[in-house]
A and B are shown apart, each in its own frame.
Chain A
Amino acid sequence: MTIAIKEIDSGQLWNFPGGIHPPERKQLSNQGSITPLPLAQTFTIPIKQHSGAAGDIIVAVGDRVLGGQPLTHAGLNNGLPVHAPTSGTITAIAAGRIAHPSGLADTVITLTADGEDTLVTMPPLLDYREHGRSELLERIKQAGIAGLGGAGFPTAQKLALQRPIEYIIINGVECEPYITADDCLMREHAQTIIDGIEILLHLAGCDKALLAIEANKPEAIAQFEQLLPQHPQIALRVVPVKYPSGGEKQLIQLLTGQQVPSRGLPLDLGLVVQNVGTAYAVARAVLAGEPLIQRVVTVTGEQVSQPGNYWVRLGTSVADLLAHCGFQPTPTQRVIMGGPMMGFTLPDLAVPVVKITNCILVPSHAELPPAGPEMNCIRCGACADVCPAQLLPQQLQWLAKAKDYDGLEQHHLFDCIECGACAYVCPSEIPLVHYYRKAKAEVRQLAREKVKSEIARERFEARQERLEREKQERLERHRLAAEARKRAQAEAVAKGADDPQDAIQAAIARAKARKAAQAAAAAKQSDDESNV
């Protein structure tokens, strides 16, 4: 598959099937500028905040650390370090709340701030074009930068593969309702984002970037329209408002007319997609030496009195963040990390803000009413009409309920991007995406168990073989020992020693003689008695 470069360069836009137009409600949070959140007193920093392996902890309880100092050392398997968000003392390293829909615990490092907020940075690489590619990639990795759009894939890793790249797509679409973090970042830091894009272009060894912004962000678009004429490599693409046009696969289809092959990567088409927040973070890491210790978080919903965008240090608890924004909880409050379409609810407020946290949404009951009771599917097909991946959601739902894993595979369950459009339009309020997530988890679990049972079988067979081998060896040893003994005896006889056979014969002869003597004695005695 090759992409249509001429059409793309001419500014053509394509379309993707399906999609929905939920109420955007972005005005709630995009009215002011991004405010730095006052420092909290304690921070809990999960050691794994991206998709990849956690690093090894390199600090101990009681250590004093400075802001920006790495707390873990990135290991293998897409590892990334995490950094101290401010200066202070490590007070605990234990299992704690992490930002995950399961509400399960994982290792977190607790940092008690000293309030001085002393920060360390790495040396800036202002002349980054003079530095080697691997040095720059290492810098981005050491800064702990993962995709800030939501998936959290290590940024350096995306660029490390040496494959030809035609375009870098910079995702500033932010199609999810309510969230305005990227919007405000683009309004205020357009130049830094452009710097970041240039660094990314330099690293990718390509000279064309497409910056996609949804049409509902006129201020951000105006900023770039003003700045971009000086940067001919970067082309602005204003995409129509539709959810989920910010999804990686959908954005690629919008901008290039191509589809990422199933189970493939954008790289297969010669494309790399990065979020605008990531581009900003890359620029700060390279040009200012700053590791990723803070990000823009949208706090919104009708239950906060001061909705808006905040610069939040990673590891700040949601409780601290919401307390600052005037959170007034209702009796059955939902606190959503992420947006209303794809975010997850939090079981409590101890959850920390992490690299992929773009929004905390605390809706009132009326603004996002809880889902009604699930009713029967009436096969209306509304879900299929809006599915951007062209799946058959209702079919998948039935298969998922029946646990028909083969059927799910045939209906391409794993091509579902979990955007939630199907569940949004479902008139029977069936939580379709939830069924798919569960089914995916089950399929993955089955695959893991399959691998595990395969290993167990091999180990069992190896053990059986070993036991059998050991038995044979034991028998063989016994046989050899017996043979050796016989051989030794034979040799001794040959040398003139008493043949053991003779000794046995002699013993038998002795016994016979003794018996004969006894018999003779008895006979003599009976004769004497009869003569009396």
Chain B
Amino acid sequence: MSFLTALIILGVLALIFGLILGFAAVRFHVEGDPIVEQIDALLPQTQCGQCGYPGCRPYAEAIANGEEINKCPPGGETTIKNLSELLGVEAKPLDAAHGTETVKKVAVIREDECIGCTKCIQACPVDAILGAAKHMHTVIAHECTGCDLCVEPCPVDCIDMVPVPVRPDNWQWDLQQIPVRVVESGNE
């Protein structure tokens, strides 16, 4: 009998708390940024497809549906860390199957070799290549995300990926990397 009483009491309690929780969930519902938007905002937007999805937004959608967060080489550790903080999951090392984190690069067309086939223009996910059929193409360097996607389609292999140059205004204070010139001193 006491066993039954306990069951009933617990059951009623569970019901009451369930109702309270349900009420609270509806009453205090917070309309946040949709999670896909938040994930997308953390991705580097190179649109390179190295994750296996055709762009950053599709990958963001996949992450929202439970995909791993460590498949974005351009974003690297920083992106993984940010994603893990946003989603409350554990940060993992970058999945090497999708590539490794390298220096930021930008595509450059060797313009005298370009035959004007427009294949790279079609491949570029951010419309950063300018040109017309049978005319020379060129890359708008500051719009290029360095995604690599234009290199493969080029029939004459005239696109190079070159590292983004370090200029005084984006220099990161690496004193050790400054080449020091050794000069003869007159007094020794």
Residues of A at the B interface (CB closer than 8 Å) are 98, 100-104, 106, 328-329, 331, 333, 347-349, 434, 437-438, 441-442, 444-446, 448-449, 452-457, 459-464, 466
Contacts and interface: CB of A to CB of B under 8 A. Distances in A.
A104 B127 contact: no
B157 to A, nearest CB: 24
B167 to A, nearest CB: 7
Contacts of A449: 44
A406 B124 CA distance: 34
B171 to A, nearest CB: 4
A459 B55 CA distance: 12
B168 A457 contact: no
Contacts of A444: 170
B172 A459 contact: no
Interface in B1-60: 40, 43-47, 55-57
B178 A459 contact: no
Interface residues of B, number: 33
B44 A455 contact: no
A446 B56 CA distance: 18
B143 interface: yes
A463 B171 contact: no
Contacts of B179: 103, 347
A456 B180 contact: no
Contacts of A454: 45
Q: Which 6 A-B pairs have the closest CB atoms?
A: A453-B45, A459-B126, A456-B45, A102-B171, A348-B181, A103-B178
5 contacts: A104-B166, A329-B187, A438-B172, A453-B46, A463-B126
B128 A459 contact: yes
B46 A456 contact: yes
A102 B180 contact: no
Given A457-B40, A460-B126, A328 B187 contact: yes
A298 to B, nearest CB: 22
A98 B168 CA distance: 9
The listed residue with most B CB atoms (<10 A of its CB), out of A106, A441, A446, A457, is: A457
B168 A329 contact: no
Contacts of B171: 100-102, 104, 441
Interface string B147-188: 000000000000000000011101111010011110101011
A437 to B, nearest CB: 5
Contacts of A100: 168, 171
B145 interface: yes
